[in-house]
Amino acid sequence: MNKKLHQNQGSSILGIILAAFRILFAGVVYFLSILPPQKESKIGSKEPQNRQTPGFGAASALLSVLLLTSCARVSDRIEPRVSYQIQERHFSRLQSAFAALTPEERATDWGREMTIAHAFTQELDLYRAVSTYKRAHVLIPLDAAARRQEIEYDILLCYYLGKRYDEAIESFERSSLATADKAFPAYHDLLLVLLECYREVEAPEKEDRIAELIEKTYPATSEELKVSYSLRSGDLPGLLALNSDLPHPSYLDPMLACYDQNHKSVGKAQALNALLPGAGYLYIGQKKSAATAFLLNGLFIAAATQFFVRGHTVAGVITATFEAGWYFGGIYGAGEEAKYYNERIYECNASQILHEHSLFPVLMLRHAF
């Protein structure tokens, strides 16, 4: 299998083509700039008065701007969107990390609130569960430290599952969970939740600190998380490096092979569209877009040519300016579509692996409420 999935053979070709077209457009601007100004005689005057063609300066300036700013290069790096929807059946298979409430605890006010909150979590009614857990936390005596910490963890878990990451972090930092260690029954899950929350709110220093704790305490989970993050972020070089450390054949082999065989080169799509407008879209299978791009560019080129041949310089420059926009825009669009095509192929395969091997962090949780 090819180990360099993102080598773009069309990149150098694209650069040459764009450079050639920039030189061509520069030549047009220079040629138009040295054209002699049109002369016009006033009625009753024998002296000719020089007058520049109306609109010429604006059209030349616009053409020059297009020349200098086009064409943006599309990045090869994919940005997939892979997510997991929480389902009741997943949590129904997991047991709580904490001991069940005793009959005496269940008879207390806070115990009744906890019982109700647990019932809400079984239906994933997280909003009501959080409110009820908070009432239990208010009612529970201070000397019931273990149960208080359990309630605080349940509140944190509700916020995390509801994707309210800022509130999850706030509740953690205000609770006794900040002093929890490996003796805490749900310590593994606590670290997982915190890692995901800090990652989502983009707090890299705290995220790295939690990642180090997981690597020291739960090395197997740490390895799974590395694969999970590489899969979810579309880090193909990282996946190739991780795959080399896995037993072969690994579960990543089919996905990497499928992507290697079916992905489209962004540089090649742009290079083809630069050589012949529409060819880049045809390369990625978009026949209608290819036909549209070809016809539009052909129409504008034909119109601009006719204007120049007939001596309508200003109209020719304006039409050529619009054509430059269509032309360079088509190159950029072909690259974007190739990238989008690659992302959809990747997402389909990556999502299947993440589900089948429980590589979403929420699927790595060992305990429920």
Question: What tens digit of pLDDT does each residue of 262-291 get?
Answer: 999 999 999 999 999 999 999 999 999 999
Q: Do 186 and 263 sit in the same domain of this protein?
A: no
Q: Do 254 and 213 sit in the same domain of this protein?
A: no
pLDDT in tens, 94-141: 899 999 999 999 999 999 999 999 999 988 999 999 999 999 999 999
Last residue of a domain, one of 166, 198, 217: 217
Tokens of 269: 């799509």
Tokens of 296: 């539009």
* 133/25: higher pLDDT: 133
The pTM is what?
A: 0.75
pLDDT in tens, 48-94: 444 444 444 544 544 454 444 455 678 888 899 888 887 777 777 88
pLDDT in tens, 135-168: 999 999 999 999 999 999 999 999 999 999 999 9
pLDDT in tens, 298-352: 999 999 899 889 889 899 889 988 888 889 999 999 999 999 999 999 999 999 9
Q: Which residue, chain included where needed, has tokens 């742009």? A: 270
Q: Which of 262, 281, 327, 271 is nearest to 11 (CA)?
A: 271
Residue 47 has what pLDDT?
Answer: 46
- Domain annotation covers residue 107: yes
Q: Which of 238, 263, 275 is nearest to 343 (CA)?
A: 263
- Domain annotation covers residue 349: yes
List all residues 6 or more positions away from 181 whose beta carbon is below 8 Å from its beta carbon: 187
Per DSSP, the three-state class of 237 is helix
Residue 98's alpha-carbon distances to 104, 151, 181, 200, 206, in angstroms, are 16, 10, 15, 27, 27
- Domain annotation covers residue 33: no
Pairwise CA distance, residues 76 & 4, whole Å: 12
What is the extent of the structural domain holding 281? 250-359
- Domain annotation covers residue 260: yes
Lowest mean pLDDT among 2-6, 21-25, 106-110: 2-6
Last residue of a domain, one of 169, 202, 217: 217
Q: Do 210 and 94 sit in the same domain of this protein?
A: yes
227 contacts 356 by C-beta, under 8 angstroms: no
Amino acid occupying residue 159: Y
The number of distinct structural domains making up the chain is: 2
Pairwise CA distance, residues 302 & 274, whole Å: 17
Q: Do 205 and 256 sit in the same domain of this protein?
A: no
- Domain annotation covers residue 343: yes
- Domain annotation covers residue 244: no
Pairwise CA distance, residues 125 & 361, whole Å: 20
Q: Do 203 and 258 sit in the same domain of this protein?
A: no
Q: Do 278 and 192 sit in the same domain of this protein?
A: no
Q: Do 211 and 276 sit in the same domain of this protein?
A: no
Cα atoms in the 13 Å half-sphere on the side-chain side of 86? 21
**Bridge partner residues of 48 (DSSP):** 41
Q: Write the CATH number for 119.
A: 1.25.40.10
Q: Kindly give the pairing relationship between strand 48-51 and strand 38-41.
A: antiparallel
Q: What is the DSSP string of 259-320?
A: HHHH---HHHHHHHHHHSTTHHHHHTT-HHHHHHHHHHHHHHHHHHHHHHHTT-HHHHHHHH
- Domain annotation covers residue 237: no
Phi, psi of 128 (to 5 degrees): -70, -35
List all residues 6 or more positions away from 26 whose beta carbon is below 8 Å from its beta carbon: 67
Q: Do 93 and 198 sit in the same domain of this protein?
A: yes
Last residue of a domain, one of 217, 233, 260: 217
Residue 75 has what pLDDT?
Answer: 83
* 173/246: higher pLDDT: 173
Percentage above 90 pLDDT, the chain: 64
Query: What is the band of 42 on the pLDDT scale with cuts at 50, 70, 90?
Result: very low
Q: Do 261 and 352 sit in the same domain of this protein?
A: yes
Q: Do 167 and 263 sit in the same domain of this protein?
A: no
Q: Do 121 and 199 sit in the same domain of this protein?
A: yes
Q: Do 100 and 171 sit in the same domain of this protein?
A: yes
- Domain annotation covers residue 263: yes
14 contacts 267 by C-beta, under 8 angstroms: yes
